[in-house]
């Protein structure tokens, strides 16, 4: 399934994906929105394995945003239960050689989900195939706010000098500390906005927007997005 036109040396180190369109996919088929989320979860697993197999080092997916709490309570409950189902068997991640990390504010999540997240991180910490970051109760602005509060507390305690606060300092207080910024962010579903995803980290990311709903997304679609990425000239403010 690998695309023969993709140069492995040009592939990104870190891919971000906004997994969008589950509800619309279900509605088009006369199904409950939960069916779209379940299909989307299966697609996520397939895409994560494919990224691992072609040598992508980091994959970050937008699973549940800070704004998603505004959805109907029963849909939120179904989403949380779906997340728990995928985290209950930590041994799967050992078999898949996937290291799991979680981004976002965990304080609003229930004890069971927080414990499953902790177990998944601990149980997969030695895996080397790919690092998959799942953004749960995550928002880019919220992440930056939490980082600033942490820095302010250290300054107030005398543990950090204001003169030492720079971009690296802020990055070290984000949920993604130690992880390279995403080279490319892919958004299926036809929407063309970032939706508060990796607001700090995406400053120089390339964006690829695609007119396909996430549950229909395949490795071939990822190949097309990566092919588009390899054609871009990344100048980072310099002259190309």
Q: Work out the average pLDDT over 202-214.
A: 97
Q: Decide if 172 is inside a domain.
A: no
pLDDT per position as a tens digit, 21-60: 999 999 999 999 999 999 999 999 999 999 999 999 999 9
Q: Decide if 85 is inside a domain.
A: yes
Q: Decide if 174 is inside a domain.
A: no
Q: Which pLDDT score is estimated for 181?
A: 98
Mean pLDDT computed over every residue of the chain: 92
Q: Decide if 109 is inside a domain.
A: yes
Number of domains in the chain: 1
Q: Decide if 79 is inside a domain.
A: yes
DSSP codes joined into one string, 156-216 = HTTSS-GGG-SHHHHHTTSTTTTSPPPSEEEE-SS--S-TTSSTTTTTT-EEEE-SS-GGG
205 annotated to a ligand binding site:
no
Task: Select from 21, 43, 22 the least CA-distant residue to 33.
Answer: 22
Characterize the bridge pairing of strands 98-103 and 206-209: unpaired
150 annotated to a ligand binding site:
no
Q: Decide if 236 is inside a domain.
A: no
Q: Decide if 67 is inside a domain.
A: yes
Q: Which pLDDT score is estimated for 7?
A: 83
22 annotated to a ligand binding site:
yes
Q: Is 105 exposed, middle or buried (0-12, 13-18, 19+ CB in 10 A)?
A: middle
Point out which residues pair with 18 in neighbouring strands: 62
Q: Is the CB of residue 17 less than 8 Å from the CB of residue 47? A: yes
232 annotated to a ligand binding site:
no
Q: Is 100 exposed, middle or buried (0-12, 13-18, 19+ CB in 10 A)?
A: buried
Q: Which pLDDT score is estimated for 32?
A: 93
Evaluate if residue 2 carries a pLDDT over 80: no
Q: How many CA atoms lie within 13 A of 65 on its CB side?
A: 18
92 belongs to the catalytic site: no
20 belongs to the catalytic site: yes
Q: Which pLDDT score is estimated for 89?
A: 72
Evaluate if residue 92 carries a pLDDT over 80: no
Q: Decide if 133 is inside a domain.
A: yes
pLDDT per position as a tens digit, 110-146: 999 999 999 999 989 999 999 999 999 999 999 999 9
d(CA 138, CA 104): 4
- At residue 237, the 3 state secondary structure works out as coil
- The pLDDT-based confidence of 233 (bands split at 50, 70, 90) is confident
Residue numbers of the domain that contains 58: 8-139+180-230
Evaluate if residue 172 carries a pLDDT over 80: yes
User: Which of 3, 68, 97, 196 is flagged as catalytic?
Assistant: 68
Cβ atoms < 10 Å from Cβ of 101: 20
pTM greater than the 0.85 cutoff: yes
Q: CATH number of the domain that 77 lies in?
A: 3.40.1180.10
∠ at Cα 203 (207, 22), nearest 5°?
40
- The pLDDT-based confidence of 238 (bands split at 50, 70, 90) is low
């Amino acid at each position: 399934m690998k695309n023969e036109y993709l140069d492995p040396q040009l592939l990104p180190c870190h891919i971000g994906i906004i997994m969008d369109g589950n509800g619309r996919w279900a509605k088009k088929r006369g199904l409950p929105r939960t069916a779209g989320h379940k299909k989307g979860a299966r697609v996520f697993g397939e895409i994560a394995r494919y990224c691992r197999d072609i040598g992508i080092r980091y994959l970050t997916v937008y699973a549940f945003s800070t704004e998603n709490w505004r959805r109907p309570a029963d849909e939120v409950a179904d989403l949380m239960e779906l997340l728990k189902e995928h985290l209950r068997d930590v041994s799967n991640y050992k078999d898949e050689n996937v290291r799991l990390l979680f981004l976002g504010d965990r304080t609003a999540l229930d004890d069971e989900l927080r414990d499953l997240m902790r177990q998944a991180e601990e149980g997969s910490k030695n895996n080397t195939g790919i690092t998959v970051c799942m953004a749960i109760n995550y928002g880019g602005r919220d992440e930056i706010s939490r980082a600033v509060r942490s820095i302010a507390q250290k300054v107030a305690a005398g543990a950090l000098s204001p003169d030492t606060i720079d971009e690296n300092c802020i990055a070290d207080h984000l949920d993604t500390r130690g992880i390279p910024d995403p080279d490319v962010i892919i958004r299926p579903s036809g929407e063309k906005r970032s939706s508060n995803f990796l607001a700090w980290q995406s400053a120089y990311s390339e964006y690829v927007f695609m007119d396909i709903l996430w549950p229909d997304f395949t490795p071939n679609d990822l190949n097309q997005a990566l092919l588009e990425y390899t054609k871009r000239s990344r100048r980072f403010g310099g002259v190309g």
